[in-house]
Structure 1
């Protein structure tokens, strides 16, 4: 069968990735322009793998906005639902630490201005997949209203709803309880959830993986993917749970690794009639594929620019971390 369309809503932004290596962040001067934004990265991953993806969000009516739209087109992502607004395109300055992890400084702009309209109500996407993985959507702005309105409409239209909280400490300092409340409200609308191990503990208050997952399952979520870096991925359904090991990599830049994982996962889920009809083996195989895509992204600079094709992933030998 032809794969379903995956529609990603949220922010497209410019990542300015620091290429300097210094003793501390004040010594670093050179930043490289890269396309980014979690949901935009996810859509690009799906398009790059050969799937059907669309991005819905707002960019500035400026050179950065033009660059993002043209970049998404190059990754075969539909952009008919992307709005151009008078506010400048959102920017994020990313400083890489010695271990490949990142620090962010956000300059929020256009993404907050996305407006929900009846044309974007999800009706034309009935039975397709909607991915809500925005790092900024729970902040103030009309994007937040659109986020919840579209998720509720998706449930009415039998579209699969996937949610990734994408917690950024820099955006939610001293407001963690607000973030947790919004996530809990969204868990009730979601069929599939992807969280990092840290996010699971943060949002549920539970350090035990399966206990934390059970908290989210009780809110109505059927499938949970807990990404754990070098420890692999914990797959939890209402019936059973499995931990799938990770692959050995030489991590250069982890920017977009989680987006690549869920993008590859959605690429695989889109080829099935429904997630309910997938066997545990099919889910495990999809996780392994997603981890290979994520691992490949970590070995290059940038989120979108590091994305592989499906054939590049399938033709490469990967070694499991023992």
Structure 2
């Protein structure tokens, strides 16, 4: 396979339209080795933060990705996929060694279970002044890279909105108590947090998830969202709370669904001009109608993704919903 490391994505825009500040996404990029009963293994580019960056770019929100990939054929696949989707890599993201992989086994219900081989180290805090910094999953908690992620959040937090998706991976995150403490420390630094019901059930067994969401909100975020798969999503902020049902869709598999929801939520915030620290007071004042609109857009993005195999998030043209500016 020929290398794509010299390909330079260009953020395209109509000549009379100024580009918004690019979003910085930090976290793992890897190859999903997808195994379905009776089929050959299918290799696809994945990683929760990478999927969010791709989802944002397809929704016309420019994104750059800081990650760690090796110098191998898998890295070629990752770089080609990023270039095709107009997501730039932060310099220093390609290093010697092999790229990370995740074996995703698809069950009869379409849900995926994972086995990971992760290599995670980062060079340094990148320069720039993005309107949004998004992180989550393995890259936010696995050392040595996690320390660079935390430092970057602290450096950019005065000017950027911070979003976080814990995307819990119990096999990589150690004991529940220590994982919970680290995740809560990241929630404290974030403005927008999205977690799945499975995440919270592992972190807080036998606890009502709406109680957990309100507790996380009280740690500091402006919005905490809990997704419940086919039953919908719940969001709570300082001024309002709302629950929505999931859109009807034909399920193929759930790979990338949560990442697509996250990208949709962040794109909706961009559409509403709510990204950047200067908009924090408006973000914290969102009423029930505004929260509902954000969730419905995000859920529509996830519904498209689960109707297609693998992490294949939608473009604007695939959606019939929009967010009021």
The TM-score range, normalised by the shorter chain, is: 0.7 to 0.9
Whether 1:168 aligns to 2:172 is: no
Structure 2: how far apart are the matches of 1:55 and 1:107? 20
* CA offsets 1:65-108 (integer angstroms, 9 cap, x no match): 12201211111112234511112000111100111111111111
Alignment match of 1:55 (pick from 54, 58, 65): 65
Whether 1:103 aligns to 2:113 is: yes
Report the alpha carbon displacement of residue 287 of structure 1 after superposing the two structures with TM.
Answer: 1.1
Report the alpha carbon displacement of residue 315 of structure 1 after superposing the two structures with TM.
Answer: 8.0
* CA offsets 1:28-68 (integer angstroms, 9 cap, x no match): x7210100000000000011111111111110011111220
* CA offsets 1:195-220 (integer angstroms, 9 cap, x no match): 11232344345632332122112211
For 1:154, the equivalent position in structure 2 comes to 156
Structure 2: how far apart are the matches of 1:231 and 1:200? 16
Structure 2: how far apart are the matches of 1:170 and 1:50? 34
* CA offsets 1:205-236 (integer angstroms, 9 cap, x no match): 56323321221122111111110111111010
Query: Taking structure 1 as reference, are residues 82 and 309 closer, same or farther at Cα in structure 2, changes over 3 Å only?
Result: farther
For 1:35, the equivalent position in structure 2 comes to 45
For 2:213, the equivalent position in structure 1 comes to 213
Alignment match of 1:14 (pick from 25, 28, 31): 31
Query: Taking structure 1 as reference, are residues 73 and 159 closer, same or farther at Cα in structure 2, changes over 3 Å only?
Result: same
TM-score by length of 1: 0.86
Consecutive unaligned residues of structure 1, counting only runs of 5 or more, are: 22-28, 317-322
Question: Higher mean Cα deviation, 70-79 or 39-48?
Answer: 70-79
For 1:319, the equivalent position in structure 2 comes to none
* CA offsets 1:141-188 (integer angstroms, 9 cap, x no match): 2x11111111111213x2100011110122235x11121111111111
**Structure 2 SS opposite 1:84:** coil
Query: Taking structure 1 as reference, are residues 82 and 45 closer, same or farther at Cα in structure 2, changes over 3 Å only?
Result: farther
